[in-house]
Amino acid sequence: MTAWIVLVLATFLASTVEAVEALTIVLALGVTRGWPSVRLGTGAALGALAVLVAVLGPGLRMIPIDTLRLVVGAFLLVFGLQWLRKAILRASGFKALHDEDEAYRRQVHEALAAGEAPRAGVDWYSFTVSFKGVFLEGVEVVFIVLTFGSARGALPVAIGGAAAAVALVSGAAFLVNKPLSRVPENAMKFAVGLMLTTFGIFWAGEGIGVDWPGSDAAILAILAFLTLYSLTQVRWLSRHRARRPAAAGGSS
């Protein structure tokens, strides 16, 4: 039961973060260049993502469970460690925090500078940028949903967590009609990095043949261990940075 709660929470948080980033692109384009082509591009991207899940989801079920867990665990581990690494660097000041307002301003500036060249009644700049933004952010969600869902045999649950996040973010954006910069994205990315890495360790271990003490309860123990480790690293790196104040990085 605990593993299921963490699984839903992980897909929900990861999807929320990606949905907020995709929404910033869509909003900036819609406000500056008009909505019809942006809606078309967003719809096409969501359709392409649905096809990806429909094709890859059943295909993954045909792989033997131990092999699947090893492959999925290894991918999640590599992917999750990247999130965690960036989150620790952001929290310790070695990398700039992700700023949704700044991303929105940059997107608006680029959209205004692109000029107008509609063909066949479609603003292809809006269509292409909204398609690309939603599809690329969405692929990360699809990757997390498919890996979590298939390794646990809980694809509908993982899809439900992601769909709830997208619905919540879209609803909130519809109400406020501006980027959701008050969503604590950096803290959420930290949490997602911890959860992806935790499940990566657990499933890769299971796939190899590791017998985890306490079975599923080991997930919470790994999560607690990684959280403690990460917070310690943030503290040590922050101190290290204070001694060399010139260090700074870019955002992504």
Partner 1 sequence: MKYLASFLAFWKDLLIGDDWTVAAGVVAALLIDAFLVHAPIMAWLWLPVAVTIVLTASLWRV
Residues that bind partner 1 (CB under 8 A): 70, 74-75, 77-79, 81-82, 84-86, 88-89, 94, 136, 139-140, 143, 197, 201, 204-205, 208-213, 218, 222, 225-226, 229, 233, 237, 247, 249
Residue with tokens 């492959």: 71
The DSSP H or E segment spanning 199 is helix 185-208
- With beta carbons less than 8 A apart as the criterion, state whether 200 and 79 touch: yes
Within 8 A by CB and 6+ apart from 159, the residues are 53, 145, 149
- State the nearest-atom distance from the C-beta of 250 to partner 1, in Å: 11
- State the nearest-atom distance from the C-beta of 67 to partner 1, in Å: 13
- State the nearest-atom distance from the C-beta of 178 to partner 1, in Å: 29
Residue among 163 and 247 whose Cβ is closer to partner 1: 247
DSSP-derived secondary structure for 111-143: HHHT----BTTB-HHHHHHHHHHHHHHHHHHHH
Separation between Cα atoms, residue 148 and residue 157, nearest integer Å: 9
- State the nearest-atom distance from the C-beta of 149 to partner 1, in Å: 18
The DSSP H or E segment spanning 68 is helix 65-91
Residue among 146 and 173 whose Cβ is closer to partner 1: 146
Helical axes 36-61 vs 124-152, angle rounded to 10°: 20
Residue among 2 and 82 whose Cβ is closer to partner 1: 82
Residue among 142 and 180 whose Cβ is closer to partner 1: 142
- State the nearest-atom distance from the C-beta of 31 to partner 1, in Å: 27
Residue among 41 and 93 whose Cβ is closer to partner 1: 93
β-bridge partners, 122: 119
Query: Count of CB atoms within 10 A of residue 139's CB?
Result: 15
9, two tokens: 């929470």
Residue among 158 and 204 whose Cβ is closer to partner 1: 204
- State the nearest-atom distance from the C-beta of 217 to partner 1, in Å: 12
- With beta carbons less than 8 A apart as the criterion, state whether 169 and 23 touch: yes
